[in-house]
Amino acid sequence: MTATTIENFMTLDLTGVGLIGKIYAALQQVQPGPACMIAAQIVVKRLRDQPGPVVIASGFPEGAGVPETDGPVGAALLARALFLGLGVETVILTDADWLTMMEGTCRGAGLAPLPFPEDGVIRPVEFIRPIYICTTPKDDAGCRAVTDAILDETRPSLVISIERPGANENGLYHGLGGRPLDGMVADYDQFFRRAQSLGVPFLAIGDGGNELGMGVVAEQLKTFSPKARDCGTPGRGGVAAATAADHLIVANVSNWGATGLIAALSAYLNKPSIFHDGALERRCIEHCVAFGGVDGMFMAPEAAVDGISAVEWEGLVNAFRNTLERVAGRVTGWKGDSGDWRQLK
C-alpha cells in the first residue's frame, strides 16, 4: 500500500499541464510496477553490495543559460537521504557556471559542500554531512575529460540523473517546448552511457520526456506529444531524449519524483528521519534561488519550482509525509496513545 500511495502522489497533475498521466501510463507499458519503491530496492541492494559513492547529475538551463530550480533541489535532498539512510557520500555533477547555485542549494538541504578531491577519490569525513560538487566545462572534450576521470578514479557505485537535459536521436538538446539548448549545457549522455557499459546502474528522474534517461519511453512519447516528434525547427528532430536509463521514475515535477524516491527509501529502510519535512524543502528552494536559480515557469528568481511556490511545496511535502505515516499505521488515537491505528481503536 505504501508503494501505491507514493505512485499516486507522483502522478498528481500539480502543474495542470496534463501530461503526467500519459507519461506514467507509457512507463507502465515498458516498466511495470511501482517505480519509486522498485528504485529504492535497486539503490539499497546496490549500495549494500558496493557502498558508494553515488554521482547525481542535474542542472537545466533556462534563458541565457541560467539554471532552473527543478533538479538541483531534488538532487541535494536525495543526497541527504542517501547519506542519512545508507551512510553513502554523493558527488553532484553539474556545469561549471552553476557551481555557486549548487553549493547554496546543498547548504539549504542541510549538507556541507566540500572541495572535490584532486585525485577524485571520496573518503569518509566524520562529524559532518558532506557533499561534493564536481563541475564540467560545456565543450565536449573538456566535459569528457572530467566525466571519464569520475568513472575511472571516483568509481561510483550508482549514477542518477534528475531533470538533466537529454540529447535526442540527433544528439541535440532542447527545452520541453522545443527551444534549442545549443552551447548552454554539457553533454552528459556520454557519461551515463559509458557508466552503463561499465556495469554501473543508471537511475533517472524526469517529468516531460526531454530529460536524460527518458529514452525508456521515447517511442511512446512520440504518439501523444507532438514536440517529442518535431521540436519545430527543421532538421533538428524532436525533443524526446534518446538515452534510456536502467530504471526510470516519472513525476509531474522532477523534484517531486526525487521526493518520491526519498519517501520510498525511508519506507523501505524503515527510517522516517530520511524523509525531510516541508520546512527543509522550502529552505532548499529559497537557497537555490538566492544563489542563482530561477523558477522554470516564471523564468525569474522566484522561490518556486515549475510555477509552484516554495510555500506550497512546504505544504505538499508535509501532506505527503503525514499520509505515509497514516498508511504505515503511525497515528495518535483518541486516548492519546501512539502506534498502529488498528490497535488504537
Would you state the pLDDT for residue 320? 98
Tens of pLDDT, residues 124-147: 999 999 999 999 999 999 999 999
Tens of pLDDT, residues 30-59: 999 999 999 999 999 999 999 989 999 999
Tens of pLDDT, residues 183-205: 999 999 999 999 999 999 999 99
Q: Which percentage of the chain shows pLDDT scores above 90?
A: 94
Give the predicted TM-score (pTM) of the model: 0.96
Task: Catalogue the E-assigned strands of the chain.
Answer: 54-58, 90-95, 112-114, 130-136, 158-162, 202-206, 247-250, 304-305, 308-309, 331-332, 338-339
Would you state the pLDDT for residue 337? 65
Residue 344 has pLDDT above 60, yes or no: no
Instruction: Name which of 53, 99, 96 is nearest 72 in CA terms.
Output: 99
Residue 340 has pLDDT above 70, yes or no: no
Q: Which residues of 304-331 are buried (b: 16+ CB within 10 A; e: fewer)?
A: bbbbbbbeebbebbeebbebbeebbeee
Tens of pLDDT, residues 57-88: 999 999 999 999 999 999 999 999 999 999 99
Residue 341 has pLDDT above 80, yes or no: no
Please state the rounded mean pLDDT for residues 279-290.
Answer: 98
Quote the cell numbers at residue 261: 524516491
Q: Which of 3.40.30.10, 3.90.1150.10, 3.30.379.10, 3.90.1640.20 would CATH assign to domain 2-344? A: 3.90.1640.20
Cα separation, 281 vs 255, in Å, equals: 10
Please state the rounded mean pLDDT for residues 214-222.
Answer: 96
Give me the residue spans of the domains in the chain: 2-344
